Structure 1
């Protein structure tokens, strides 16, 4: 297996591995503001198996993604930041290979499962979801085209500040979308990346939670319920908190590292 990896030079002893979300996205939407840490840290931005520019090689499972990352890391432990779905893969990596994860940042994701009623009664959530209905079941598109269209469809749900939308759209234009996992996910055949008893199994690793207060994918309310080393919830920020509040988001990452 050969992963596509974007690398920025820096101190190898202070390597930060960044795991993107999706899946069926690439890493590029996370480059800013994290690339500002280059030089002081070595940065690794892989495209997960079957995502972006990395080939779709069987098995296409979360465990296979983790195995790829173990090979990429090698023998020396690194800091890990997992974003959204990547936050679940990052937890799985830390649980399966704790000797390779020095510190874990779970950003715009959750350690605890998301309750079915997590967003009930939130008027703004209901307004935005009603204004931008899902394309998954009512589209002539398929594969990468459908994943791309859905990413643009959910943009007003993923960024909180209206003035952040243009920047988010610019980033989406650069993302290499795939449809590798789409069919299995829609048919309920794609294994969950969430680990049971994750809170207990992560207890030996420094864990930092970084969240937008108005995240409409992973509710910020779960942050206060999760035992962790440290946590920051950013005001005026949604799921893409690094785009809504880039300076505050990067400052929080830097402080924890």
Structure 2
């Protein structure tokens, strides 16, 4: 293998391990995307799966799960018209420009917007009346999951981001979680959305959210295991008498 930068920006840790690629580059290049998608999908399923199953009878979603399809892509006309996804559809993806700034002298911070779209589909009025309020619930459950940094049914309730997560071993060694320092909800909108300029294009009932995250970038050589230290201090009494040493091992 060629040499590497040995840098980490969020969950991207160089050098990469080709054995972890699986079926998509996102698993090694942007695992935060996969983590947020799977975390939110599990939160929605755990909190609303049973009530959705009770309410979906007689609708076009009768044979579906509350999160039938998951995509690490933004909801768009191309996705909704060309991809053979079954609704309800959950999309989680980075959205728009990211900004970089100096967090400390040796650490850079990346601030990024994300779109989180939960789409029930082009429901008829009776179906929207029956199932549409689920979209309000989804916004609140995602916000609560973000506030806690985890969900009890996802990876045993392990923290995925946030201040307490930053103090954990999973963050320190890059072995788990989304490797995001902060996640917050910026906006959410519930209702119908048309993803094409054509006025005859279908309108999709859903919950459309914007998040903002920060992640840190630094050299991996900063992550040094400290086994211990020895401290010596030389002191002298004010009257000039014989100095004495303080010594401690940690």
Please indicate the TM-score interval, normalised by the length of the shorter structure. under 0.3
Structure with greater strand percent: 2
With normalisation by structure 2, the TM-score equals 0.26
